[in-house]
Amino acid sequence: MDQVSFSTEQFAAAQRASGAPAFLSPEEGLMQLWVFGILVIFKVSGNETGGAFSCIEDVVPPGSRGPYPHYHTREDEYWHVTEGELIWIVGGQEMSAPKGSFLHIRRGVLHGFQNRSDKFARMVVMYTPGKFMEWFIEVGIPAEGASLASFPGPSPRKEDYRKALQWLEVYGAGFPPLPEEIEHGEL
């Protein structure tokens, strides 16, 4: 019998089309984007779940300031740290989240994270419902085939910050009053 070779991506696409469970190996995803220095790997889109949820993996480089503390008005978020350690600011309180930590952040709660270590951190992120994942598509820069060797990714420009703020409003997220340098795209 002849053997047929499929990539894991083809296998995952075939499973999704048939309604079978999807399988993605490490580093694989539906899409990869650079979003303000973080590599975002799409695992499951809201379209695939009927909008119920979406799932991404974030690869956060050492020293990353992460996203400025923000909130979502439409989604709850679930974060599982799978590698490294992050410092989270949730509801005005700072906490350490080492490998294995799990956070559930309800809509409306101010939150952000930073990687203050000298090692990469990874986390799996779920949004419920799954629409917010589209914000990453609007503001991200394609990063197909990116790996740890690809860091640092492209540096954000002033217009990237302005665009991100604009799209946050569309997707139901926001910030408390912003420092002037962020408001003017100069962070």
CATH number assigned to the domain comprising residue 157 = 2.60.120.10
User: Is residue 8 domain-resident?
Assistant: no
Nearest to 114 by CA among 51, 183, 37: 37
In the chain, how many domains are there? 1
Does residue 6 carry a pLDDT above 50? Answer: no
Examine residue 14 and state whether it is found in any structural domain, yes or no. Answer: no
Average pLDDT, rounded, for the chain: 86
Domain that holds residue 153: 29-183
Mean pLDDT to the nearest integer, 29-45? 93
45 in a structural domain: yes
Q: Is residue 18 part of a domain?
A: no
**Beta-carbon contacts of residue 46 (< 8 Å; ≥ 6 apart):** 52, 53, 54, 127, 129, 130, 131, 133, 134
What is the reported pLDDT for 123?
Answer: 97
